[in-house]
Structure 1
Amino acid sequence: MTEEDTEEIVGRDELTTTADYGTNQCRNTEETVPTASTCCPRPIKLTWRPVTVEPVMFLVMFSLALNVPLSTQYVWDRIGEDLGFNGSRSSGCSNESLSLDPVAKEVEILSVNWNLYITVGQYSVAMVLVPLLGSWSDLAGRRPVLIISNLGMAIQAVVNLLVLYLKLPVFYLLLARILSGLTGDFVAAMAICYSYVADVSDQRSRTFRVAILEACRAVSAMLASVLGGKWAQADGYIKPFWMVLVMNLATVFYVYLFVPETMVPIPGAKLFSLRHYRAVWQLLSSGGGAAAAAGRRTRTRLWLYLLSYLIVLVVHTGSFSLYVLYELSAPLCWSSSLIGYGLALLNLTSLIGLLALKVTQRCLEESWVALMGLVSNVAGLLVFSMANTTGLMFTGYALCFLYMTTSPVLTSKMSKLLGPLEQGALFATIACVSSLSHLVGYSLFNWLFAATLHLMKGFSFLFAVALLLIPSGIIGVLKCIDQRRERGAG
């Protein structure tokens, strides 16, 4: 790799100008930071590092991708055991018959409902805490939030292990998720990883740096899916959940030892302060300092991109929550191993799509790349809606190979609208939107799946296709407006 390629990927210009920008922006800010010091928070100029928070994202997503599908399967198995469902997952399953016995139907519906309760409990708490943690990271630094959130996930893993060892009720899985949500959970960790990348990249390289984080998510999820499925089928659930705990603790030690701080911490910066909510509200109401200087148009774009991001994530999280349940029940009746292979293929194809993002950026504007991702997602969802064989499910996963290109493009576009000292508040807002999308996605799609199970099992995926038409229209219209403005200026 040449020095020119390195500069294109990392973008050192931002590292030498961020502090000056932050100083000027602080002078124009009406509200001062309520601390003992009157100085404004400012970024730290770091020497270039090829690896920073990428391993953090990898480890966090590895533990998450190992935890969530296995938790879903454990709830299914535990409820089946409690109801005396003696049949195996393949009992009564065939491609010619879609019928299930009444007990199996009850297991399926109760599993959907309990997974819904667990998800709602987790993200309801995270939505309140993540804005605090994200905005606080602008004052206290990025490292403390990364450590706190991963310690919370480690506590969740400990409670999960107690449930497995002591055969505690499924309710304790909900308690574990709430405890993790109190520390921000993986949502806060991801938000700070994106904020960190925004701290150390310029506008030219930011989209690709965000895409690298997305690639870390895809690779870790792919490996965890294969490992978790085979491991659970061979040895049960306990050993994989021990691995989740090890991953969480390893992340804490990595952050403490190897991740440098990018913000100058302000002594006495309070975590529990209404100022953090005001910072997020100011960002949404005025578009932030940089957006306010650019006028109303920038604020409108920020809102539209946030709306598009919300809908895209609602579809991603909602449909993802159904894949395991869809594959566990008739007519597919997949084993843990096969479920792992399916999720691994989905993450592998998304990794290919993120590599394609770098290639297509050379010949296509980012908006068109995002639209290509939406088209890919729609194609896969249409196949899922009518999939009644293993081959069709894997075809749907393959067609989704570009679906992950949309979210990094939208994230990058929002980040470019704002200044360096607003990145923490922005990504706290994005994290809050992400929590809301998980809450809405899981709740809506699980409820819709249970409500339409007896009518049309794949209806939820068709509903997802209809939702994706909204961000497609927003991104397409904004791009056409930009092209018209460019032609008028020319």
Structure 2
Amino acid sequence: MSFSSFSQSIENEVRRTSGSLDDYDTSSAPGGVIERNKRRSRHGNINGPDLLPDLVGSNVTDDVYLITQSDNEIGWRKWLVAPYCFLYIAGYITSSATFGLFVYYKVQRDLYPDLDQLNETSACKDVNKSSLDYQRQVHVQDVASNWGIYTSLAVGIPAIFANMLLGSSTDKFGRKFLFFLPCIGTLIRMIVTVIGIYFDFNLTYHLIGFIVEGLTGQLFTMLLVCFTYVADVTSQKGKTRALGITMIELAIGVAVAGFSFSTGYFIQNTGFFYPMLSAGIMLAMSLIVVIFIPESFPPAKRDNSESVVTKMKTAYDLYLGSFNRGRRWKYNTLLSVFTFTMFSALGRGSVEAAVSVGGTVLLEF
């Protein structure tokens, strides 16, 4: 088959399934199959830069999703994704910092109920490691660290499988449901924690909330849907997409910096209950914002012919599939670098909390 007839067969296939090519913005996918075949000469050298590799979309039988220009024009409400992201991150940071310090306080009070005061002490002072006070402090830190591991596993393991499933479901069920799910899960976790703090439950009961949060994807599903949504409602042309991504990252940065700083003072002045309650209120507000965010992937665009499992396989063919083997190692290398970077970025919070509590705020024995 010549490449001119190949291009024509692609156009005929799209016309058969959609009725017309005129409604689609093919130029929004530079380097795509249709655009590249239009650009090349009918009798040019097929080994040039327009050679079509064995990629998804290079065959007329492949499923390719084209988004119309008119669908991107959904009004100013699409930018509500930024305040949604800000409220979620603000509540998440507040609750995480509060719970981390609460665990230390709860463990200390359970192990040594007669010692309920905290004393501010410099971490630079010489410490008598053979003293009973120091040994008690180390014991509290050890038990509190174990609880940090338990909560991380309770939320992290379900979140891994939830994100694999939910991320592959967006083309089948749309984007908006993914805005709701992580908010609901995190809000349930906060409600469990608020009740647990108020009624002084055993720490084991708090794990229920973390498991529910993990099953709904946690923070990572929220980030997934935010960036996917921006890609849906903006064009590659101009600076609109860059603006959308910048707004999300700015919302994350401001929320992390502001509420990481203020939560400590909030706890110092009011205790643990009200900061956690405030975090829950912010999550509830983010749910209200979601109501006004328009759907970017309506039913007309969705493909219900494939199962979610099939879509998961298609998504993970990017990493393990037979196509694009020559260059895929570069992407996987970058992904590995990102993974190790996240170990330090996400894991340091627990260590910093332990150091700040154990080093500068010591138990008064």
TM-score, normalising length from structure 1?
0.56
User: Which amino acid is the alignment partner of residue 346 of structure 2?
Assistant: T
Distance 2:287 2:181 in 1: 8
Partner of 1:63: 91
Q: For residues 108-155 of structure 1, what are the alpha-carbon distances to aligned partners after superposition, in whole Å with 9 as ceiling and x for unaligned?
A: 011111011101110100000112111211232211111122111111
8 Å Cα contact 2:172/2:303 also seen in 1: no
Please give the secondary structure, in 2, of the residue aligned with 1:168.
coil
8 Å Cα contact 1:284/1:303 also seen in 2: yes
Q: Does 1:202 align with 2:236?
A: yes
Residue number among 139, 151, 157 corresponding to 2:184 in the alignment: 151
Distance 1:97 1:111 in 2: 23
Partner of 1:316: 345
Q: For residues 20-49 of structure 1, what are the alpha-carbon distances to aligned partners after superposition, in whole Å with 9 as ceiling and x for unaligned?
A: 9999676847566xxxxxx95746322574
Please report how far the alpha carbon of residue 196 of structure 1 lies from its aligned counterpart in structure 2 after TM superposition.
1.6
Please report how far the alpha carbon of residue 72 of structure 1 lies from its aligned counterpart in structure 2 after TM superposition.
0.5
Please give the secondary structure, in 1, of the residue aligned with 2:168.
helix
Please give the secondary structure, in 1, of the residue aligned with 2:124.
coil
Distance 1:23 1:248 in 2: 43
Deviates more, 1:165-174 or 1:295-304: 295-304
Q: How does 1:286-305 map to 2 (within 5 A)?
A: 286=321, 292=323, 295-305=324-334
Residue number among 240, 245, 250 corresponding to 2:280 in the alignment: 245
8 Å Cα contact 1:139/1:264 also seen in 2: no
8 Å Cα contact 2:91/2:283 also seen in 1: yes
8 Å Cα contact 2:121/2:361 also seen in 1: no
Please give the secondary structure, in 1, of the residue aligned with 2:72.
coil
Please give the secondary structure, in 1, of the residue aligned with 2:268.
helix
Distance 2:357 2:297 in 1: 46
* Higher helix proportion: 1
Q: For residues 317-350 of structure 1, what are the alpha-carbon distances to aligned partners after superposition, in whole Å with 9 as ceiling and x for unaligned?
A: 12232111111112x2289xxxxxxxxxxxxxxx
> In structure 2, do the counterparts of structure 1 residues 165 and 62 end up closer, same or farther at CA, with 3 Å as the change threshold?
same
Q: For residues 422-477 of structure 1, what are the alpha-carbon distances to aligned partners after superposition, in whole Å with 9 as ceiling and x for unaligned?
A: xxxxxxxxxxxxxxxxxxxxxxxxxxxxxxxxxxxxxxxxxxxxxxxxxxxxxxxx
Partner of 2:134: 101
Residue number among 118, 126, 138 corresponding to 2:151 in the alignment: 118
8 Å Cα contact 1:67/1:244 also seen in 2: yes
Please report how far the alpha carbon of residue 264 of structure 1 lies from its aligned counterpart in structure 2 after TM superposition.
3.0
Q: Does 1:229 align with 2:259?
A: no
User: Which amino acid is the alignment partner of residue 45 of structure 1?
Assistant: N
User: Which amino acid is the alignment partner of residue 78 of structure 1?
Assistant: K
Distance 2:332 2:137 in 1: 44
Q: For residues 180-230 of structure 1, what are the alpha-carbon distances to aligned partners after superposition, in whole Å with 9 as ceiling and x for unaligned?
A: 111111210111111122222428755664343222111012222233222
Please give the secondary structure, in 2, of the residue aligned with 1:329.
helix
Deviates more, 1:84-93 or 1:129-138: 84-93
* Unaligned segments of structure 2, at least 5 residues: 1-23, 35-55
Q: For residues 248-294 of structure 1, what are the alpha-carbon distances to aligned partners after superposition, in whole Å with 9 as ceiling and x for unaligned?
A: 1211121111x22222336785998312421232121238xxxx4xx
8 Å Cα contact 1:83/1:103 also seen in 2: no
Q: Does 1:328 align with 2:357?
A: yes
> In structure 2, do the counterparts of structure 1 residues 178 and 103 end up closer, same or farther at CA, with 3 Å as the change threshold?
same
> In structure 2, do the counterparts of structure 1 residues 164 and 31 end up closer, same or farther at CA, with 3 Å as the change threshold?
farther
Q: How does 1:382-397 map to 2 (within 5 A)?
A: none
Q: Does 1:306 align with 2:361?
A: no
Q: How does 1:23-422 map to 2 (within 5 A)?
A: 28=59, 30=61, 42=67, 44-46=71-73, 49=76, 51-84=79-112, 86=115, 88-90=117-119, 94-98=123-127, 99=129, 101-199=134-232, 200-202=234-236, 205=239, 209-257=244-292, 259-265=293-299, 269=304, 273-286=308-321, 292=323, 295-330=324-359, 332-333=360-361
8 Å Cα contact 1:23/1:42 also seen in 2: no
Distance 2:60 2:268 in 1: 57
Please report how far the alpha carbon of residue 84 of structure 1 lies from its aligned counterpart in structure 2 after TM superposition.
0.9
8 Å Cα contact 1:132/1:272 also seen in 2: no
User: Which amino acid is the alignment partner of residue 295 of structure 2?
Assistant: E
> In structure 2, do the counterparts of structure 1 residues 212 and 77 end up closer, same or farther at CA, with 3 Å as the change threshold?
same
Distance 1:308 1:326 in 2: 27
User: Which amino acid is the alignment partner of residue 95 of structure 2?
Assistant: N
Share of identical aligned residues, percent? 19
Please give the secondary structure, in 2, of the residue aligned with 1:95.
coil
> In structure 2, do the counterparts of structure 1 residues 284 and 94 end up closer, same or farther at CA, with 3 Å as the change threshold?
closer
User: Which amino acid is the alignment partner of residue 166 of structure 1?
Assistant: F
Q: CA RMSD in A?
A: 3.2
8 Å Cα contact 2:100/2:148 also seen in 1: yes
TM-score, normalising length from structure 2?
0.74
- Aligned pair count? 308
Larger Rg: 2
8 Å Cα contact 2:171/2:302 also seen in 1: no
Please give the secondary structure, in 1, of the residue aligned with 2:361.
coil
Distance 1:315 1:127 in 2: 18
Distance 1:272 1:71 in 2: 39
